[in-house]
A and B are shown apart, each in its own frame.
Chain A
Amino acid sequence: MDDKLNVRQLVDAHKGTVKPAIYIDQDIYDLELERVFGRSWLFLAHESQLPKAGDFFTTYMGEDPVIVTRQKDGSIAAFLNQCRHRGMKLCHADSGNTRAFTCPYHGWGFGLEGGLSVVPLEQEAYRNGLDKSKWGLVRVPRLTTYKGLIFGNWDETAPSLEDYLGDMAWYMDGFLDRREGGTEVVGGVHKWVIDCNWKFAAEQFCSDQYHAPYTHGSAIQVLAPTPENKSDGKPLGDGQTQRPAWANGLGGVQFSEKGHGSAFFFTEKPDANVWVGGEVSEYFRETYPEAERRLGSVRALRLAGHNTMFPTLSWLNGTQTLRVWHPKGPNQIEVWVFCIADKAAPDSVKEALKASHARAFGPAGFLEQDDSENWVEVQKVLRGYKAKQTGFCVQMGLGFEERRKDGIPGVTNYTFAETAARGFYQRWVDMMTSETWAEIEARTKEYQKELVHG
């Protein structure tokens, strides 16, 4: 154990308490960049964003800017977006197609495969003394794809993506594998900045169904598929069950493992949330038989609920929003939002989905704003002297964890619980205080074993 910042005293997953320092402390944040973001599998881009050789997409791994590119041989590579000469950001475009990357500062040129190929005034200035083979871009050493999503990891010793995901893959498949042909990103990437710690957003999508009935109460009220809300003939949620899923009496499940989390309510019919457009909910009803063949009924019926793959990739079924919470210091994040559609969906459905998605979860989305407001206001309170020292309660459903016998995998609880939040913070502590992956995995395993006795 190597707990130089005493973070084990700030998080107690067994009792369900956290101290606010984990959201504001600069030293803790700096260690997160190294120990969490420096060794986790991080989402980089969707394969559909890089169809051709030379296509690239720039993003971040933690605070490290990276370039993801499609190579001439069809493979994908990612590099630190930092010129090897004097550290200038190499590529300043969000995305595009190119044959080379040229540094805007002194003009060093790098090939798609990351090698340094051109140095201005090489003979006159370096007198041919520069060994260009030593100054290629720093490559992201681990890169892999999972059902269309591209992931990178800085840590050569990290477990495989499959091991890292564990049973989270089962939940992820329910989002990415409903139809033959997989998924694609529709439209561009919405990006915006809000002032809160990355863990508020990531943990809410991991574990917090509890906020929805109240935080989003006004949206639920005005968008209910009742006759009064149907005057324009194209109602949201057309043909759907009227009651919110948590009020239908069928129960639900929250999942937690290795820091990941997911939760949803069971439904009788393949009902997307009431806030997707009628055309979208109809699409989900029509394609249900295929989804059921591929995934079984539990996941095929699931068109709502929240998910976080530790640490910062989150998504929502049904509204099809996928997002990354890029950390920008302890008090800020850049939210990057992608709309994910089945590739096989008709164009009209993709358009309707894009509209539904932006309406609910774009930067001005009626649900997005509710959520952002909570996180930003919590962060503001933490500027206070007393507020910084006051612990938070993460005890919902504590002690009611179980392993289900119906095939729904992992450590589980009822949907309204904070089991996944406790698992998220336990994993965070395990990463923050362990030198090696063997230690991280052993500690996480021990914690999960205590919860469900095996």
Chain B
Amino acid sequence: MDKIFVCAVAELPPGEARRIETDPVIAVFNQDGEFYALADRCTHGEASMSDGYVEDDCTVECPIHSAKFCLKTGKALTQPATVDLATFKVEVEGDNVYVLAPAQVAA
């Protein structure tokens, strides 16, 4: 597992998301103080989930066709998406947020 720096905690306030340019790209979300990471590219089309809407029910909604995904499990919850998003572990260390990504994810 590689530990990839995302940003300072203060740079990712609740309701927001950040994109990290790994391959594949990862989106990191702050939902009400909890951090989650998912594959950034929607499984339906080429939308970036970091542009999505972080919702109160711990989901993120795709900005293009409104497919909802669970932030915890990456599960595709609504049409038009049918394929789940990959999930990644997030670690907060001191003031910083990191993503733990398997080796095949190159930073």
A residues whose Cβ falls under 8 Å from a Cβ of B: 98-100, 102, 107, 109, 117-120, 122
Nearest 3 A/B pairs, CB to CB: A109-B64, A118-B45, A99-B63
CB distance from A402 to the nearest CB of B (A): 59
B residues whose Cβ falls under 8 Å from a Cβ of A: 42, 44-47, 51-53, 63-65, 80
Contact A117 B65 (CB under 8 A): no
Query: B interface, by DSSP: helix, strand, loop or mixed?
Result: loop
Chain A residues lying within 8 Å of B46, measured Cβ to Cβ, are: 117-119, 122
27 contacts between A and B (CB under 8 A): A99-B52, A99-B53, A99-B63, A100-B63, A100-B64, A102-B63, A102-B64, A102-B65, A107-B45, A107-B65, A107-B80, A109-B63, A109-B64, A117-B47, A117-B64, A118-B42, A118-B45, A118-B46, A118-B47, A118-B64, A118-B65, A119-B45, A119-B46, A120-B45, A120-B65, A122-B45, A122-B46
Given A109-B64, A117-B64, A120-B65, A100-B47 contact (CB < 8 Å): yes
CA distance A100 to B88 in the complex (A): 26
Chain A residues lying within 8 Å of B53, measured Cβ to Cβ, are: 99
CA distance A117 to B53 in the complex (A): 17
CA distance A432 to B82 in the complex (A): 55
Chain A residues lying within 8 Å of B63, measured Cβ to Cβ, are: 98-100, 102, 109
Chain A residues lying within 8 Å of B64, measured Cβ to Cβ, are: 100, 102, 107, 109, 117-118
Contact B51 A120 (CB under 8 A): no
CA distance A98 to B45 in the complex (A): 18
Q: Which residue of B lies closest to A120 (CB)?
A: B45
CA distance A102 to B42 in the complex (A): 15
Given A118-B64, A120-B80, A109-B44 contact (CB < 8 Å): no
CA distance A109 to B44 in the complex (A): 12
Chain B residues lying within 8 Å of A119, measured Cβ to Cβ, are: 45-46
Chain B residues lying within 8 Å of A122, measured Cβ to Cβ, are: 45-46
CA distance A122 to B47 in the complex (A): 12
Contact for A100 among B44, B51, B80, CB less than 8 A:
B51
Chain B residues lying within 8 Å of A118, measured Cβ to Cβ, are: 42, 45-47, 64-65
